[in-house]
Amino acid sequence: MGITGVPGAGKSSSIEAFGMHLIGSGKKLAVLAIDPSSERSKGSILGDKTRMEQLAVHPNAFIRPSPSAGSLGGVARKTRETIVLCEAAGFDTIFVETVGVGQSETAVHSMVDFFLLIQITGGGDELQGIKRGIMEMADGIVINKADGDNIPKAQVTQTQYRNALHLFPLSESGWKPPVLTYSAKTGNGVAAVMDMVYEYMAFTKQNNYFNHKRALQARYWMYESINEQLRNHFYHNKHIQALLEKKETQVLNDEISSFAAAQALLDDYFKR
């Protein structure tokens, strides 16, 4: 299950709430994260782990930060490998969290069965902040922080999202993404969110979309693996590394176009 949402939506507290609910029903849970930006600091993201106090110490939960693998492709591949390992180790539910709203969502969508978009209440401005593509990927949209005086606002936001989803074509799965409200803080609505996920699983298994999607994902990762290995082979070639430095300098000095430099590098690579 992929989990995304704008910063401040309460992803970490939601993962804690969803996770403890699942563990309470006898499940084993793994929580993974994808954050290609962690390469900048050479660190990993799960400072969020501090917000998952119960999950972090629970024997039936495993929390793994984003691997610092450089490119998004590298991070995604390592995360997908970890999913396979977690399944083999007996974890029946795996959450994959992404940070913010961007390219990493597409990578996560290609490796999960259900994609959840977490939003927060507001005056409708948040609809502008979410890319249409992210909403189209979502199998369910949930509005967090529906507690106290915020409940009426959450209901308004829920209506706005339901109206927005009417403008989208029906997904290939035939599933219409529900829009629910809940509170990670109080726990109200958490069970309903998890029930929605199970309803989706039952629905897509019944019409065979579940297996179809997994087959398409396997094909996608075959091509991604080829692309990454070719990329690594190219950049780790000692001769190319030396030539790359030279061509880079020429491009920076405006002595050669970037396209001509790239072509010269590739021509040299394929001759060897």
Across-strand partners of 30?
Answer: 62, 94
Between helix 238-252 and helix 209-235 the angle, nearest 10°, is: 80
- Report the pLDDT averaged over residues 28-52: 64
Does residue 10 carry a pLDDT above 60? yes
Does residue 90 carry a pLDDT above 90? yes
Q: Which two tokens stand for residue 147?
A: 């507690």
Does residue 31 carry a pLDDT above 60? yes
Does residue 98 carry a pLDDT above 90? no
CB-based burial of residue 227 (10 Å sphere; 0-12 exposed, 13-18 middle, 19+ buried)? Answer: exposed
Q: Which two tokens stand for residue 174?
A: 């035939």
Domains and CATH numbers, the chain: 2-209 (3.40.50.300), 216-271 (1.10.287)
Per-residue pLDDT tens over the stretch 148-187: 999 999 999 999 999 989 888 999 999 999 999 999 999 9
Cβ contacts of 65 within 8 Å, gap of 6 or more? 33, 38, 44, 45, 46, 49
Using an 8 Å Cβ cutoff, are 67 and 79 in contact? yes
Which residue in this structure is represented by tokens 């969290």? Answer: 97
Q: Which of 31-40, 63-72, 100-109 has the highest mean pLDDT?
A: 100-109
Which range among 52-56, 59-63, 206-210 shows the weakest confidence by mean pLDDT?
52-56
Position 69 scores a pLDDT of: 52
Mean pLDDT of the chain: 87
Cβ contacts of 163 within 8 Å, gap of 6 or more? none
